[in-house]
Structure 1
Amino acid sequence: MRIALFCHSLLSDWDHADAHFLRGIAAELDARGHDVLAFEPEDAWSALGLVAAYGPDALREAAAVYPRLRPRRYALSTLDLDAALAGVDVVLVHERSDPELVRRLGEHRARTDRYRLFFHDTHHGLITDPAAIVRRDLSGYDCVLGFGKSVCDLYLSRGVARRAVVWHEAADTRLFRPLPQVEKERDLVWIGNWGDGERTAELHEFLVEPVRALGLRARVHGVRYPDRALSALADAGIEYAGWLPNHRVPDAYARARITVHVPRRPYAAWLPGIPTIRPFEALACGIPLVSAPWADAERLFSPGRDYLVARTGAEMTEHLRALLADPEFARGVAEHGRRTVLARHTCAHRVDTLLDLIDELLLRPCYRLGEAAEDDVERSGPASGVRRRDPGRYRSPLA
């Protein structure tokens, strides 16, 4: 098949974690022999910010990691969809795409009716900025791919989508894997942006204060750290090391003994079942993980076995202490988490779901826009209920 992907940026993950999963999906599709065409705007702020901060070599480095992914940059004002989508069978549109592009693609699909059109949402905007999402016209789209059931439920109940399928993010296990040859250099590493006030209190409680209490050798990577955050890190003895290209994250995990997950408040409080991509990647790398609270409503993992759960800062401190004091215990947690990811949560699994859905769309009638039957919200992964008509046909060459 020929598959077109419209996204904000594929090669730049500077302040843009959506690139992680999209690159993994594109690489997996390519490895299976599908023709993947990636489109991104020529003025993408992530790519421009990356080059401004680190120079063009930073983009070239990412391109070398994914040599077969060559995104085509466009100006929306001159984009010719007839030419761009000639011979395309499937179009995947990420939610960070310009609303005008989203609208035009829906109209083009309705007019031509010769490819399947998906809208892919990996953000909390339906909760935090619902008006912006509801104003989008998705009537020409075959389906919304939401990265959690709670997101899909909102699309259906608010009448924005005719159909929604759960498509959780996952780890690109070609890249995210243990590196046992790398020597440990520190106790803890945390990789993530400070954010826009969405988890400031949580980062103090579950990261800064436990590190201070235990006197750990710790490093933090990310962007958008205000001066007060940098001061808090320094006061706790935490090294701030700035942005880290995502393809270097496996090495960073390999050099640390443990990591933590501190979800943003919209996910922890209002969108249960969505861990975001970092836990998938960390567990794939085989590093012991302790998570601040989030509701695993869709039973993606086995909390307490794949990772430890800290309900309070005091529990986080005790879990970190226990893992560091008992290497065998830490190894058991890490291995269990990695086995779960390999069994259920790789980009290969998500591509299986996508390809099965494409086949199913040829047979299943569409529902009226806004009809929220329970069967419309389908799940990704082994428990999806999506009938696999020919599993061998889509098996990953690296499985």
Structure 2
Amino acid sequence: MKTHTFVFLGLSITSSWGNGHATTYRGLIKRLAQRGHRALFLERDLWFYADNRDLPDPSFCRTELYTSLDDLRTRFDGAVRDADMVVVGSYVPDGVAVGAWVTETARGKTAFYDIDTPVTLKKLERGDTEYLSPALIPRYDLYLSFTGGPTLDLLERRYGAKRARPLYCSVDPDEYFPERAAARWDLGYLGTYSADRQPTLDRLLVEPARRWAQGRFAVAGPQYPADIAWPANIDRTDHIPPGEHRGFYNAQRFTLNVTRQDMIAAGYSPSVRLFEAAACGVPVISDEWPGLEAFFEPGKEILVARSSEEALRLLREFPERERIAIGQRARERVLARHTAAHRAEALERYARELIDEQALPGGRRQ
């Protein structure tokens, strides 16, 4: 197997505080390294991550912080020019300028990795080019998307992406697995505050907590407004680092998955928390969204709740033996299809197709 050199420019790999990007990059690049590939990760030195770097120096790749666009260009022009593939992620500061520089400089292949595809497309519809512009999309050789399904065709047809391919989030089974632990909570949720997710969180967790005073609940994540009135039987934690996620999941009888509205509208947008909890064998109660059945079979590998009443019924009446079985079946599904190793293999395959195509007689970088 031929190995390749990758350069990633992403929001963060050193800090998981308030973002799901770091764990995605960590799992993906770690598995690329295990397959013999070399990677350099370039991260903007942002003040809000400076005091929250839970992995400041990953062992599986070289990581460098840069302070500005000029600093990036000056120090890493050669690395970008000579890499086999350069991957620019969503929400990279000055992402349009970064992407323009990358696509002008790189001699190898280039890709945009959209960890926020439905949000990105909504931003583009509004004329918001915070990190990507319509004109930049066709300049990348590959558009990697956290969202599959019809969105891939939309990216190619409407926005001129040369190739749009899924590269969903994933889980590292070395980090997420079942542990014997007494259940502290009947239902827990892990996620940064989002205004469009809060009504669903209220409906499927907060309201059931109000109606079931004997139940035990937990909500973990930063940026929740101080004026939210949490019932007394909900434990609130501002941040749980990735190293403690496994323990948090394993202390729950059920865990809750809540999907952002843009992700629901696009469909086929699984959350990383969904795979993490399932890998721990913890049964997931999820809101409903198009494409869910492409990842887990409802009623057999995942449970869907549409109302407070349905959520409360699952928590109080679901048979214990079947609860355990659903968690186990979900874990088996994740291990078979949704690990970081599967994503690394997919990225390797996409890169190899592009690089081999370029090497053909008459092949040239478009």
The CA distance in 1 between the partners of 2:303 and 2:272, in whole Å, is 17
TM-score by length of 2: 0.87
**Alignment-mate amino acid for residue 202 of structure 1:** T
Q: Which of the numbers 233, 241, 245 marks the counterpart of 2:241?
A: 245
1:331-357, CA deviations, whole angstroms, 9 ceiling, x for partnerless residues? 101000000000111111111111111
The CA distance in 2 between the partners of 1:259 and 1:125, in whole Å, is 24
Q: Which residue of 2 aligns with 1:361?
A: 354
Q: In the alignment, does 2:269 pair up with 1:267?
A: no
Deviation at 1:68, TM superposition (A): 3.2
Instruction: Work out whether residues 13 and 22 of structure 2, in 8 Å CA contact, stay in contact via their aligned partners in 1.
Output: yes
Q: Which residue of 2 aligns with 1:189?
A: 188
Q: Which residue of 2 aligns with 1:16?
A: 19
Q: Which of the numbers 21, 31, 35 marks the counterpart of 1:32?
A: 35
Deviation at 1:194, TM superposition (A): 2.0
The CA distance in 1 between the partners of 2:325 and 2:14, in whole Å, is 34
Deviation at 1:134, TM superposition (A): 3.8
Instruction: Work out whether residues 85 and 109 of structure 2, in 8 Å CA contact, stay in contact via their aligned partners in 1.
Output: yes
Q: In the alignment, does 2:208 pair up with 1:206?
A: no
Q: Which of the numbers 123, 144, 160 marks the counterpart of 1:129?
A: 123
The CA distance in 1 between the partners of 2:154 and 2:48, in whole Å, is 28
The CA distance in 2 between the partners of 1:262 and 1:198, in whole Å, is 10
Call closer, same or farther: CA 1:87–1:128 in 2, change over 3 Å: closer
The CA distance in 2 between the partners of 1:217 and 1:167, in whole Å, is 36
Call closer, same or farther: CA 1:319–1:358 in 2, change over 3 Å: same
Identity, in percent, stands at 28
The CA distance in 2 between the partners of 1:136 and 1:282, in whole Å, is 38
**Alignment-mate amino acid for residue 176 of structure 2:** F
Moved more, 5-14 or 288-297: 288-297
Call closer, same or farther: CA 1:103–1:254 in 2, change over 3 Å: same
Deviation at 1:70, TM superposition (A): 4.3
Instruction: Work out whether residues 137 and 160 of structure 1, in 8 Å CA contact, stay in contact via their aligned partners in 2.
Output: no
Q: Which of the numbers 273, 285, 288 marks the counterpart of 1:293?
A: 288
Q: Could you tell me which runs of 5 or more consecutive residues in structure 2 were left unpaired when the two chains were aligned.
A: 359-366
Q: Which of the numbers 39, 44, 64 marks the counterpart of 1:72?
A: 64
Deviation at 1:247, TM superposition (A): 2.3
The CA distance in 1 between the partners of 2:113 and 2:151, in whole Å, is 11
Q: Which residue of 1 aligns with 2:49?
A: 47
Deviation at 1:160, TM superposition (A): 4.1
Q: Which residue of 2 aligns with 1:173?
A: 173
Moved more, 84-93 or 9-18: 84-93
Deviation at 1:136, TM superposition (A): 4.8
Instruction: Work out whether residues 283 and 327 of structure 2, in 8 Å CA contact, stay in contact via their aligned partners in 1.
Output: yes
Q: Which of the numbers 115, 119, 137 marks the counterpart of 2:112?
A: 119
SS of 1:13's partner is coil
Q: Which residue of 2 aligns with 1:395?
A: none
Q: Superposition RMSD on alpha carbons, in Å?
A: 2.0
Call closer, same or farther: CA 1:282–1:46 in 2, change over 3 Å: farther
Q: Which of the numbers 5, 9, 16 marks the counterpart of 1:6?
A: 9
Deviation at 1:2, TM superposition (A): 1.4
SS of 1:129's partner is helix
Call closer, same or farther: CA 1:29–1:301 in 2, change over 3 Å: same
Deviation at 1:101, TM superposition (A): 0.6
SS of 2:324's partner is helix
**Alignment-mate amino acid for residue 119 of structure 1:** F
**Alignment-mate amino acid for residue 34 of structure 1:** H
Q: In the alignment, does 2:117 pair up with 1:139?
A: no
Aligned length: 342
Call closer, same or farther: CA 1:136–1:282 in 2, change over 3 Å: farther
SS of 2:143's partner is strand
Q: Which of the numbers 84, 89, 92 marks the counterpart of 1:94?
A: 89
SS of 2:352's partner is helix
Q: Which of the numbers 317, 321, 337 marks the counterpart of 1:322?
A: 317
Q: In the alignment, does 2:153 pair up with 1:153?
A: yes
